[in-house]
């Protein structure tokens, strides 16, 4: 969601394009943009100071993960590290509030870091105008971060909601959870009840200055809350916790970020909705100059480390699915009476269902269970005890073909015979694996003595095509 929200706030500096702001003021539509801390203060995250044309070199529009993700990787932040993020976020809130916009969804997941580690406030889908101070819809936000007045139906609120949410978010950066989730409850109603009634307990390890800041931000009484007593963000900026901080330096992004997101990494939680790629289908593919021309204007080049991380994620996911499928197959085969223990106990390379083109005229597909060994291929139908057998020496070639729009494996056998199997009973990747293993087994040289020694003792009909 955050990645989709990335947009250009540069035009907000000129205030000539009012559509987004008007949408916020009407409470209609979503401003799907990302606010660079600098652009929110008139110093564009994508440019320089307004009207000067001066470039800062900051903000290429690329973001590298949100604070929720970095919190999970980095661990909780120290007070000094948290102060950096708090200061940049405060400037962003100050600018929005000066335009009568209340954000309403402040949380680590909505705070993106740019490639240098500076803050970008994202996802303004819940932001709205509070200039008329009319009652706004209740429960707009994220449970555990919403202010008490937001949870109370019919109660008008303004920028006060954001200062309470800021207190909740800073607490999470320091402790790893919202102050109203410390009992590990996931029940939204219970979280809301605690927000409305519970006094927040601050750890003894917090410095007096930090305690003063959080106690001020987390006041349930709006009239006593920091930022809500008439001077807005200035009240928060004057807290002892920020003593010695040069707010102009914060404004110009001159303070070094405590965390610079690694380049060439995903900087996001693993995504499993990625299609798998078959190595056999992509191996040896080379892009021509005409192909390269198509990609010349692409703004992004994916690094090898990123590709490796995606590949490892897909590999783990596919293996997990395969293990589940294998377990189901074993249970089913046991019910059907297939001697899988026999197959796996020997040197079986691969086994499973495929459809075989059968009958004297080779017009019907027959469901068969196949076992592939280094020196032979065996198969049998439902309830059949004699096992059909084809030795690797009898196979002239293993080919890929198509029969009635179905991908098939065609085994050409000495004497002009053929064996055709399709993937109707297995997936395409499995069929590719069958073809690969059959080719390897049929092309591998073997000793006749070893071959004879491996023929099993059960009754079978030789070359039962």
Cβ proximity of 163 and 223 under 8 Å? no
- Return the H-helix or E-strand segment holding 388: strand 387-391
Cβ atoms < 10 Å from Cβ of 417:
13
Q: Is the pLDDT of residue 282 over 90?
A: no
Q: What is the model's pLDDT at position 453?
A: 41
- Reported as a pLDDT band with limits 50, 70 and 90, residue 399 is very high
pLDDT of 110 above 60: yes
198 has pLDDT over 80: yes
Under the banding of pLDDT at 50, 70 and 90, the label for residue 19 is: very low
> Is-above-0.95 flag for pTM?
no
| C-alpha span between 369 and 389 (Å, rounded) | 12
Highest mean pLDDT out of 69-83, 325-339, 376-390:
69-83
Q: What is the DSSP letter of 252?
A: T
d(C-alpha 21, C-alpha 100), whole Å: 10
pLDDT given at position 62: 63
Q: Which of the residues are catalytic?
A: 105
Greater model confidence, 12 or 246: 246
Nearest 10 degrees: Cα torsion 106, 112, 118, 121: -40
Tell me: the pLDDT tens digits for 296-338? Answer: 777 666 666 667 777 777 777 777 777 777 677 666 666 655 5
Please provide residue 357's backbone torsions phi and psi, each rounded to the nearest 5 degrees.
Answer: -75, 115
Q: Higher-confidence residue: 163 or 358?
A: 163
Under 8 Å between Cβ of 114 and 103: no
Q: Is 123 helix (H, G, I), strand (E, B) or coil?
A: strand
In the prediction, which pLDDT does 304 show?
64
Query: Which pLDDT value is given to residue 263?
Result: 73
Residues 456 and 44: their CA atoms lie apart, in Å, by 77
The residue-averaged pLDDT of 237-260 equals 94
Confidence of residue 358 (pLDDT cuts 50, 70, 90): confident
Greater confidence (121 vs 290) lies with 121
> Residue 171 has what pLDDT?
93
State yes or no: pLDDT of 99 exceeds 70: yes
List phi, psi (to 5°) of 214: -70, -40
pLDDT attached to residue 107: 93
What are the backbone dihedrals phi and psi of residue 149, each rounded to the nearest 5 degrees, phi first? -65, -25
DSSP state of 11: G
Which of the pair, 309 or 433, is modelled with greater confidence? Answer: 433
Better-predicted residue by pLDDT, 98 or 320: 98
Confidence label for 154 from pLDDT (cuts 50, 70 and 90): confident
pLDDT at 13 over 60: no
CA distance linking residue 66 with residue 36, whole number of Å: 13
**Per-residue CA distances from 208 to 79, 87, 94, 201, 202 (Å):** 12, 18, 25, 14, 10
**Looking at residue 17, what is its pLDDT?**
36
Give the pLDDT score at 225: 92
Residue 166 has what pLDDT? 95
Given this model, what pLDDT does residue 302 score?
64
Beta strand pairing call for 101-102 and 128-129: antiparallel
pLDDT for 462 equals: 44
């Amino acid at each position: 969601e955050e990645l989709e929200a990335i947009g250009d706030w540069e035009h907000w500096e000129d205030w000539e394009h009012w559509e987004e702001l008007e949408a916020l003021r009407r409470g209609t539509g979503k401003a799907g943009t990302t606010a660079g801390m600098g652009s929110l203060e008139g110093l564009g995250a994508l440019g320089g100071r307004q009207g000067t044309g001066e470039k800062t070199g900051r903000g290429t529009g690329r973001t590298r993960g949100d604070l929720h993700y970095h919190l999970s990787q980095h661990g909780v932040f120290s007070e000094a590290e948290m102060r950096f993020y708090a200061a940049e976020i405060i400037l962003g809130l100050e600018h929005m509030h000066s335009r009568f916009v209340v954000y309403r969804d402040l949380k680590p997941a909505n705070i993106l870091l740019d490639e240098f580690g500076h803050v970008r406030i994202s996802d303004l889908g819940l932001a709205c105008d509070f200039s008329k101070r009319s009652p706004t819809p209740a429960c707009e936000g994220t449970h555990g971060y919403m202010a008490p007045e937001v949870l109370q139906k019919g109660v008008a609120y303004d920028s006060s909601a954001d200062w309470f949410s800021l207190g909740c978010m800073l607490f999470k950066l320091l402790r790893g959870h919202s102050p109203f989730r410390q009992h590990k409850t996931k029940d939204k109603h219970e979280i809301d009840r605690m927000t409305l009634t519970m006094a927040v307990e601050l750890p003894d390890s917090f410095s007096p200055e930090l305690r003063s800041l959080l106690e001020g931000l987390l006041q349930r009484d709006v009239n006593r809350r920091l930022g809500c007593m008439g001077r807005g963000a200035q009240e928060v900026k004057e807290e002892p916790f920020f003593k010695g901080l040069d707010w102009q330096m914060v404004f110009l992004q001159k303070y070094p970020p405590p965390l610079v997101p690694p380049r060439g990494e995903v900087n996001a939680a693993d995504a499993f909705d990625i299609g798998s790629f078959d190595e056999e289908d992509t191996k040896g593919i080379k892009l021509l100059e005409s192909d390269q021309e198509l990609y010349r204007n692409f703004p992004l080049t994916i690094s090898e480390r990123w590709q490796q991380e995606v590949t490892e994620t897909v590999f783990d996911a596919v293996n997990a699915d395969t293990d589940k499928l294998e377990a189901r197959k074993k249970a089913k085969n046991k019910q059907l009476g297939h001697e899988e223990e026999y197959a796996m106990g020997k040197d079986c390379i691969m086994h499973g269902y495929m459809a075989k083109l059968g009958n004297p005229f080779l017009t019907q597909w027959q469901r068969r269970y196949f076992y592939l060994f280094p020196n032979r291929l065996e198969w049998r139908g439902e309830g059949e005890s004699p096992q059909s057998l084809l030795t690797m020496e009898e196979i002239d070639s293993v080919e890929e073909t198509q029969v009635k729009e179905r991908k098939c494996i065609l085994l050409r056998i000495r004497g002009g015979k053929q064996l055709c199997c399709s993937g109707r009973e297995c997936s395409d990747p499995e069929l590719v694996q069958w073809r690969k293993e059959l080719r390897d087994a049929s092309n591998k040289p073997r000793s006749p003595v070893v071959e004879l020694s491996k023929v099993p003792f059960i009754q079978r009909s030789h070359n039962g095509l």
